[in-house]
């Protein structure tokens, strides 16, 4: 089955890292994957987004017409991408930063206070991986363990502390959503 998703937010929020970590994890699980970063004359604080396609067969188009899942980390990303999502799809939004409600009635909207939870871990910068952990739990597309392992290849050995913090962020996002579901 082919599933497409978009991660979006501000440049500097670690959007590409979310995509890269997910692509690494699903590749190591033996799936086909394509990660397409939107590249423009982007800057820190500007817009950033990437499209990920996951399948067990050859992936034709790396571009998504209407993705099943969209994660928005900022208000501009929310306003821009809420219309793109497939009917019946899921919009996961960073409720620590995004105010306002979606105009769509045909999609599932899940608020995740990624910024708040990251601050509970002591570092706002890991909001991206808190969100990715929550994403993994909400979508069931990838195992938490696969993501944690994927991070090992993304952080150089001398940054063991950062690796540990980011893995903790993944677990925190995943498990907090899990608890809320119960």
Binding site for other proteins (CB under 8 A): 19-20, 23-24, 27-37, 39-41, 56-58, 60-66
Measuring CA to CA, which residue among 110, 118, 108, 120 is closest to residue 18? 118
Minimum Å gap between C-beta 37 and other proteins is: 5
Minimum Å gap between C-beta 19 and other proteins is: 8
CA distances from 179 to 53, 134, 165, 175, 182 (A): 28, 11, 21, 6, 5
The dihedral sign for the CA sequence 37, 38, 39, 44: negative
Minimum Å gap between C-beta 25 and other proteins is: 10
Question: Which residues, in sequence order, are CB contacts of 87 under 8 Å at separation 6+?
Answer: 66, 106, 107
Minimum Å gap between C-beta 165 and other proteins is: 22
Query: Which residue, 84 or 104, has its beta carbon nearer to other proteins?
Result: 84
Q: How far apart are CA 142 and CA 136, in angstroms?
A: 6
Query: Which residue, 27 or 124, has its beta carbon nearer to other proteins?
Result: 27
Query: Which residue, 12 or 40, has its beta carbon nearer to other proteins?
Result: 40
Query: Which residue, 57 or 181, has its beta carbon nearer to other proteins?
Result: 57
Query: Which residue, 119 or 163, has its beta carbon nearer to other proteins?
Result: 163
Reported in sequence order, the residue ranges of 107-163 that DSSP labels E, i.e. its strands, are 108-112
Minimum Å gap between C-beta 67 and other proteins is: 10
Show the tokens assigned to 18: 């979310």
Instruction: Give yes or no for a contact between 69 and 89, defined as CB atoms under 8 angstroms apart.
Output: yes
């Amino acid at each position: 089955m082919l599933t497409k998703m978009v991660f979006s937010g501000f440049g500097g929020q670690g959007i590409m890292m979310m995509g890269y970590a997910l692509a690494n994890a699903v590749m190591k699980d033996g799936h086909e994957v394509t990660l397409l970063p939107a590249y423009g004359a982007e800057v820190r604080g500007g817009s950033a987004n990437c499209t990920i396609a996951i399948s067990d067969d050859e992936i034709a188009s790396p571009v998504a017409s209407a993705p099943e899942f969209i994660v928005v980390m900022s208000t501009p990303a929310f306003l821009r991408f809420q219309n793109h999502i497939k009917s019946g799809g899921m919009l996961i939004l960073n409720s620590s930063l995004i105010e306002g409600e979606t105009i769509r009635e045909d999609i599932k909207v899940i608020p995740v206070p990624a910024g708040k939870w990251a601050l509970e871990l002591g570092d706002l910068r890991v909001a991206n991986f808190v969100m990715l952990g929550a994403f993994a739990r909400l979508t069931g597309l990838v195992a938490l363990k696969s993501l944690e392992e994927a991070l090992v290849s993304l952080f150089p050995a001398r940054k063991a502390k950062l690796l540990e913090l980011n893995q903790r962020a993944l677990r925190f996002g995943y498990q907090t959503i899990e608890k809320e579901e119960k």
